[in-house]
Structure 1
Amino acid sequence: MLRARDAMDRAYAQPLDVPALARIAHVSEGHFTRAFRAAFGETPHRYLQRRRVERAMFLLRETDRSVTEICFDVGFGSLGTFSRTFRDIVGRSPREYRGETPSVGVPTCFTMAWTRPSG
């Protein structure tokens, strides 16, 4: 399970699916999904979405790149899915998040802890 999670952490922007991740973990697809959820408290798909949103949060805070560019750079296939998933995990849209994020004077470690998604 750790190998598969590490692969998701490294290649979060790549198209990853359960069969590929199960092969990395050397287990069947069904067992992989059940074991991953038992080990990490969420499905592989949700973990990957959350990882992508975390990276998007960083890019929204630290760059001036457009939301659309960030959406595709972190591995989402459509802006609608990205925005819906971002709102579901963070509680506000990517544009709202960018507008509310402090940009100066707050140490990065505090910003990251305060804005880390919970879902």
Structure 2
Amino acid sequence: MRSSIDNKKSGDRDLKLLRRLLRARDRMDAAPHEDWPVSRLARVSGASEAYFARAFRDAFGLPPHRYLLARRVERAKALLRDTDLPIIDIALQTGWNSLGTFGRTFRDVTGESPSALRRQMRQAPGDLDQVPHCFVSAAHRPHLTMAVSEKRRRTKADTLELSNGGT
């Protein structure tokens, strides 16, 4: 009897924590161009920084920084596809402070530079006006299961291995 009561209390705590984590994630989604250090997100969710970072990763599968990075890249891809804005304006609107950082991070995440991706998306046949926006966004969402710096190091190591005759 006691264990079922304890489980119910634990389940209530988990739901309350999830609501607080969703509140922080919704704030990031609403303003991905803003700075969202873990300290700010932890205040939004009412948790300590370490606990928030760990709980966010457990709940959503990505640390908060990678989640925000994915949202910024996703938004930048949509702006590249749907507007004629200069790339520097897209970089600034999506939260980067420098064009160099934006370009390098964008290329590391997507495998292409912003201008190359814009050309490719415009040349690709298909009428996306008939597809619900949420499906288009999900299809173009970057997969960040590893840190961008890890991805960059892994790509460089693979290139070196191939150039040295490795398989």
TM-score by length of 1: 0.90
Size of the aligned set, in residue pairs, is 119
Q: 1:64 to 1:39 in 2, by over 3 A?
A: same
1:61 to 78, 81, 84: 81
1:40 to 60, 84, 91: 60
Q: Which amino acid aligns with 2:100?
A: G
Greater fraction of residues in helix: 2
Higher-RCO chain (CA-CA 8 Å, sequence separation at least 6):
1
Gaps of at least 5 residues in structure 1 are none
TM-score by length of 2: 0.66
State the alpha-carbon separation in 1 of the partners of residues 24 and 139 from structure 2: 27
Whether 1:12 aligns to 2:37 is: no
Whether 1:118 aligns to 2:147 is: no
Alpha-carbon RMSD across the aligned residues, in angstroms, is: 1.8
State the alpha-carbon separation in 1 of the partners of residues 49 and 68 from structure 2: 16
SS in 2 for 1:102: helix
Larger radius of gyration, structure 1 or 2?
A: 2
Could you report, residue by residue, the CA deviation over 1:35-71 in whole angstroms, capped at 9, with x for unpaired residues?
Answer: 1111111110111111011111110001111111100
State the match for 2:100 in structure 1: 80
Question: 1:118: Cα distance to partner?
Answer: 2.1
Gaps of at least 5 residues in structure 2 are 1-20, 145-167
State the match for 2:128 in structure 1: 107
State, as a whole percentage, how many aligned pairs show the same letter: 50
> Structure 1 stretch 36-45 or stretch 101-110: which is displaced more?
101-110
